[in-house]
Amino acid sequence: MDNRQIEELRQFASDAAAKAASGKELYAAKTGVQAKLKAVMSGMRDLPKEERPAFGKTVNALKEEIEALFEAREKELNRKELEARYAAEQVDVTLPGRKHAEGSLHPVTLVKNQLIDIFAGMGFEVFEGPETETEYYNFTALNTPADHPSRDMQDTFYLGGDLLLRTQTSAGQIRVMQNKKPPIKVLSPGRVFRPDDDATHSPMFHQMEGLVVDKGITLCDLKGMLSAFAAKMFTSDTKVRLRPSYFPFTEPSVEVDLSCFVCGGKGCRLCKGTGWIEVLGSGMVNRRVPENCGVDPDEYTGFAFGMGLERIAMLKYGVNNIKNFYDNDVRFLTQFKD
């Protein structure tokens, strides 16, 4: 074997590797080259003994060289193949994504859940009373006198006898106090019904009632708790203002205004220039109410508050017509996320 032969084989291997266009071809080419190399090596036996080491060294070097050659070629082929796939598999990333469309929860449910979250953190449980009630639970036990206008047919839906559709979630107060001894911290959300149907009234809407009964509860606590609520529900600097009002089941009764969270109290369209927004009714639980439920009003005091969920939703989301909540237009419903 001479240098020419070596050179030929090297050239052959180099050509074969370069010609191979795929892994498979490269493997075939390599097998061919290896066969030739093997043939060359088998010729070593015919060489004189003293030439064999030098020959062996040369062939081994060639073998290593060929292997490196094929290895390099294989890497190159792999790279090309990958590039080809990359090119072939490229997508138009601006095509629309494919998603599973989620639905949405009703804004009244969202607001209800937010309120529950806030008050649950302050230790409130949730109680949902029946939507059909008796006059006793809806009025009498709540200290509403028999000749009070709210008991009229014009203001309450009656179902026959002393049964009615509850006009306020306050009816739940009685059921809670009858069944649970203080300390009581309960929220009662739910549907309520009143025979009003015009631009700003819906014959059905939602209220959330809150009730706290325990030893030593004061009007200051009422203000403190509602301040904490307002800060979480609206903005952290929302201020609370109490002013006198009247509800049969609280004494003293207060209307609770919050500083306008749009203008911060400077006066805007939402607050009609007053800087304050009327948000809820509240007061210290009237002694007659726990008395009616077998709770000693000399031992326990408490406060109650109630708010309209639609009203809160309207304030929070800027919805200006209460009727939207019951239209169930999907374009409306699917806008609410939080």
Partner 1 sequence: MKVPFSWLKDYVDIDCSAQALQDKLFSCGFEVEELLYLGKDVTGVYVGEITDIQKHPDADKLQVCRVYFGEEIGTVQICTAADNVFVGAKVPAALNGATVLHDGQVMKIKNGKLRGVASNGMMCSGEELGINDDFYPGAEIYGILILDKDTPVGEDVRKVVGLDDYVFDIAVTANRPDCQCVLGIAREVAAVLRKPLKMPSFTYTMSEAKGEERNMKVRVEDTALCPRYIGHAVTDIKIGKSPAWMRRRLALCGIRSISNIVDITNFVLLEMGQPMHSFDMDTLSGREIVVRRAADGEKITTLDGKEFTLNHENLVICDGSKPVALAGIMGGLNSEITENTGRVFFESAKFARDNVRRTSRALGQSSDSSARYERGVDAYTTEFGMARALHLVEELGCGTVTNVHIDCNHAETKGKEMTASIAKINSLLGIEVPVRTVTDILKSLHFEVTLDKDGDTMSVIVPPYREDVDGWPDLAEEVIRMYGYDNIAPTFLEKASVTAGGLNEEQKRMNRFKDVLRLQGFSESMNYSFFSPKSFDLFGLPADAPERKAVKIVNPLGEDLSVLRTFLAPSMLDNVVRNLRRGNENGKLFEVANVYIPRELPLKEQPAEKKTLCLGAWGDCDFFDVKGAIEAVGDAFGVKFAFRRAQKPFLHPGVTAEILLGEKIVGYLGELDLRLAAELAVERKVYLAEFDYETASRKFTDATKYQGLPRFPAVRRDLALLADENVPCGDIVATVVHACRAVKDVQLFDVYRGGQVPAGKKSMAFTLTFEPEASAEKALSPEAVDGFVRKILGNLKHNLGVEIRM
Applying the rule CB under 8 A, the residues between 159 and 188 that interact with partner 1 are: 159-161, 163, 165, 183, 185
- For partner 1, the binding residue among 41, 227, 316, 317 (CB under 8 A) is 227
Place of tokens 């301040």: 227
Q: Please list every residue from 74 through 93 that binds partner 1, using CB under 8 A.
A: none
CA angle in degrees (0–180, nearest 5) for 281-278-124: 45
- Is the torsion defined by CA of 119, 286, 177, 214 positive or negative? positive
Q: Tell whether residue 301 is a contact of partner 1 (CB under 8 A).
A: yes
- For partner 1, the binding residue among 284, 314, 315, 322 (CB under 8 A) is 284
Q: Smallest gap, in angstroms, from Cβ of residue 255 to partner 1?
A: 9
Round to whole Å and give the CA distance between 226 and 243: 14
Q: Could you tell me the two tokens for 82? A: 């990958």
Q: Name which of 168 and 286 has its Cβ closer to partner 1.
A: 286
Q: Smallest gap, in angstroms, from Cβ of residue 336 to partner 1?
A: 9
Q: Smallest gap, in angstroms, from Cβ of residue 91 to partner 1?
A: 25
| Centroid of chain to Cα 87 | 39
Q: Tell whether residue 209 is a contact of partner 1 (CB under 8 A).
A: no
Helix (H, G, I), strand (E, B) or coil at 213: strand
Q: At what angle do helices 107-120 and 219-233 cross, to 10 degrees?
A: 130
Q: Smallest gap, in angstroms, from Cβ of residue 179 to partner 1?
A: 14
Q: Tell whether residue 105 is a contact of partner 1 (CB under 8 A).
A: yes
Q: Tell whether residue 286 is a contact of partner 1 (CB under 8 A).
A: yes
Q: What is the DSSP letter of 181?
A: P
Q: Tell whether residue 103 is a contact of partner 1 (CB under 8 A).
A: yes
Phi/psi region, residue 306 (left: phi>0; alpha: psi -120 to 50; beta: rest), is: beta
Round to whole Å and give the CA distance between 227 and 50: 105
Which of 47-55, 84-92, 281-289, 312-320 is the region at the interface with partner 1 (rule: CB under 8 A)?
281-289
Q: Name which of 195 and 264 has its Cβ closer to partner 1.
A: 195
Q: Residue ranges of the alpha helices (H) in 90-153?
A: 107-120, 135-138
Question: Which among 258, 290, 286 is positioned nearest to 274, based on CA atoms?
Answer: 258
What backbone phi and psi angles, to 5 degrees, belong to 122? -95, 5
| Per-residue contact flags (x/-) with partner 1 for residues 115 to 154, judged by CB under 8 A | -x--xxxxxxxx-x-xxxxx-----------xxxx--xxx
Within 10 angstroms of residue 312's Cβ, the number of other Cβ atoms is: 22
- Cβ-based burial of 25 (10 A; exposed 0-12, middle 13-18, buried ≥19): middle
- For partner 1, the binding residue among 48, 96, 216, 294 (CB under 8 A) is 216
Q: Tell whether residue 273 is a contact of partner 1 (CB under 8 A).
A: no
Q: Name which of 62 and 285 has its Cβ closer to partner 1.
A: 285
Q: Smallest gap, in angstroms, from Cβ of residue 280 to partner 1?
A: 15
Q: What is the DSSP letter of 146?
A: T
Q: Smallest gap, in angstroms, from Cβ of residue 293 to partner 1?
A: 17
Q: Name which of 67 and 125 has its Cβ closer to partner 1.
A: 125
Which of 5-13, 17-25, 35-43, 223-231 is the region at the interface with partner 1 (rule: CB under 8 A)?
223-231
- Evaluate whether 189 touches 115 at the Cβ level (below 8 Å): yes
Which of 18-26, 38-46, 88-96, 243-251 is the region at the interface with partner 1 (rule: CB under 8 A)?
243-251
